[in-house]
Each structure stands twice: as C-alpha cells, then as structure tokens.
C-alpha cells in the first residue's frame, strides 16, 4: 500500500513530461491539415492543401535540398573526423591530449548564438563568403562533440586482442580498421552520423549568421518566412522536417536501440 502512492506520482510525472514534449509536435502536425488560411489549433477541416501549396514555393524546395546537402556533408566529414579523433584519444597517450578533448568538446558549452557570431567574424576575416562549404564547416565544429561522445562510448571496453587476432591471421592495418574495428564500433559511428545529420539539418542559430540571400537553409527559410507571413504552409514544411527526423530516429532505434545511443558507456 505504502509503495503505491509514489508509483502513481511517478507515472503522473512521466505523463506530464511526455505531454509537454510531444504536444508541440502534435500541434504542428495537426495544424498543417487545417483548411483555413491561417494557423489554428485544433484544425478546422481536414486537407492536404498546404502540402500541395508547397509546389508554388520553389524556394522551400531549394532550401530543403540545400539543407539536405549541408547535413549530408556535415554528417560524413564530422563522422570521419570524429571517429578517427576518438580512436586516437581512447587508445593513445600523447602530448596535448587533454587540450584536444577540451577544445573539441567546447561547442557543447558555448551558446550557439555566440558561436554563430564568432563564426561570422572569422569567415569575414578570412574572406569566406556564405556558401554550402561555409555552412558545412560551421556544422562540423558543432557536431563533432556528439560524434565523439558516441564513438568513444562504443570504444570503451573494446577488446584490442580482437584486432591483434586479425593481424595475426595476416591482416594489415587498413584491413584491420575496415574489416574489424569499424564493424565492431559501427553502432556508435552510425548514431554519430545520424545525430550530426539531424543537428545540421535542424540548426537555425548558427546558420542565421552565415546564410545570404541565395544560400538559405530550410530552418532559416521558415524563420524568415514567418516574420512576414503566418499561413499554414509553415506548419506543412515543419511537419515534413519532423517526419524526416522521426524516420531517422526510427532507423537509429532499429539499428541500435535508443537506449544505447544515449547511454554514456557501452554495455
């Protein structure tokens, strides 16, 4: 009897949190189906009109493609650098190791606005104009800490005698890396890749400082569009972004299980 009450309290608390987290998403998804010319919740009527309407806004499509391109580029490069750095950090002792760990982790601590301003200053100083490359570089810096956290977690407890066994059987260094090491830590690497993709794809704060009139990522496009208009097309674009993220999360879940991605240690 005594234990019941805290348990009910716990469930209640959990429910509140779920509602709090999920409500905005549900609101956006549902509002995108409204038949009205303005955003309302609950939606009035039910139509896919605002999705069809997107065809008349090629700038959204353009931004979407740019965002996907930037996110893919970020994800690939960030995962490659992050994975190799993680291996170096976990396995070797070298001078300045702590400094590198701190430096690489610092984007997690600095507010993205500050980081965006800094990046803007730096780019104008070296004369790098707004471009997909400029965005990708910014996002790489932003996402490497995530990749490293995940890859380091999957490297902790990695039994190096497995690699020795492969060498023993005649495999050279590259073979060992690609045929043995990488497949074994692949859960961390894939999770890192997907996380950096999502982070880059969703980033508004940093991108705001870098974009120009013809290089505009999707979140920035939505943001600027909303400053002038407030029609449900915003909600349909947002819904598409949400759905894409959900699909990626499902892939993570399928490939690795969410628990593992968020766990700090490899079990």
Partner 1 sequence: MSYLCLENLVKTFNKTEVVKKLNLEIKQGELVSFLGPSGCGKTTTLNMIAGFTEVDEGKIVVDGKPVHLLPPNKREMGMVFQNYALFPHMTVFDNVAYGLKLSKIGKSETQRRVLEALEMVRLSGYEKRYPKELSGGQQQRVSLARALVIKPKLLLLDEPLSNLDAKLRQEMREEIVEIQKNVGITTIFVTHDQEEALAISDRIAVMYEGRIEQADSPVSIYNHPKTDFVSRFIGEVNQIQGKVTEILGTHQSKLNFYGNEQIVAVNAMKNAEMDFFIRPENIQISLVETNDRNIGFKAKVERKMFLGAKTRYILKAQNKHLIADISNVVLNSNLIHEGSSVYAAWKPEHLLPSRNVR
Q: Which residues bind partner 1 (CB under 8 A)?
A: 159, 161-162, 164-172, 175, 180, 183-184
Q: Which is nearer to partner 1, 168 or 229 (CB)?
A: 168
CB of 171 to partner 1, least distance (A): 6
3-state secondary structure of 8: helix
Nearer to partner 1, 128 or 171 (CB): 171
Strands (E), the chain: none
Show the tokens assigned to 146: 């995530």
Q: How far is the CB of 173 from partner 1 (least distance, A)?
A: 8
Alpha-carbon radius of gyration of the chain: 22
Least distance between partner 1 and beta carbon 181 (Å): 11
Shortest approach of partner 1 to residue 256 CB, angstroms? 14
Q: How far is the CB of 22 from partner 1 (least distance, A)?
A: 36
Let me know: does 61 contact 79? Beta carbons within 8 Å: no
Question: 141-150 as b/e, with b when 16 or more CB fall inside 10 Å?
Answer: bbbbbbbbbb
| Cβ partners under 8 Å of residue 34, min gap 6 | 40, 43, 44, 45, 47, 50, 232, 235
Cα(201)–Cα(72) distance, rounded to whole angstroms? 9
Q: Which is nearer to partner 1, 19 or 162 (CB)?
A: 162
Query: How would DSSP label each residue in 20-71?
Result: HHHHHHHHHHHHTT--SSS--SSPSS---HHHHGGGG-HHHHHHHHHHHHHH
Two tokens at 222?
A: 């939505």
C-beta of 184 vs 226, nearer to partner 1: 184
CB of 193 to partner 1, least distance (A): 18
Nearer to partner 1, 20 or 174 (CB): 174
Q: Which is nearer to partner 1, 57 or 175 (CB)?
A: 175
Residue number, 172 or 259, with CB nearest to partner 1: 172
DSSP type of residue 203: -
CB of 163 to partner 1, least distance (A): 9
Kindly state the tokens that stand for 128.
């790098």
């Amino acid at each position: 009897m005594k234990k019941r009450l805290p348990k009910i309290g716990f469930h209640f608390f959990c429910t509140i949190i779920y509602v709090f987290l999920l409500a905005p998403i549900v609101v956006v998804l549902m509002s995108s189906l409204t038949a009205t010319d303005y955003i309302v919740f609950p939606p009035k009527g039910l139509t896919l009109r605002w999705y069809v309407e997107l065809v008349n806004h090629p700038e959204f499509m353009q931004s979407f493609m740019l965002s996907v391109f930037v996110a893919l580029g970020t994800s690939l490069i960030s995962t490659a650098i992050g994975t190799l750095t993680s291996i170096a950090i976990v396995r070797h002792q070298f001078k300045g190791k702590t400094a590198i760990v701190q430096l690489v982790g610092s984007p997690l601590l600095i507010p993205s606005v500050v980081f965006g301003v800094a990046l803007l200053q730096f780019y104008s100083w070296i004369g790098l104009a707004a471009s997909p490359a400029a965005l990708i570089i910014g996002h790489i810096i932003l996402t490497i800490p995530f990749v490293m956290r995940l890859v380091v977690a999957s490297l902790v407890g990695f039994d190096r005698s497995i690699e020795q066994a492969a060498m023993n059987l005649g495999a050279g260094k590259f073979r060992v890396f690609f045929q043995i090491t990488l497949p074994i830590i692949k859960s961390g690497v894939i999770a890192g890749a997907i996380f950096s993709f999502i982070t880059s794809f969703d980033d508004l704060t940093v991108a705001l400082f870098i974009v120009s009139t013809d290089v505009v990522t999707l979140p920035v496009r939505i943001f600027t569009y909303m400053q002038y208009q407030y029609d449900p097309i915003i909600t349909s674009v947002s819904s598409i972004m949400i759905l894409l993220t959900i699909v990626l999360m499902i892939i993570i879940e399928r490939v690795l299980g969410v628990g593992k991605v968020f766990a700090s240690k490899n079990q």
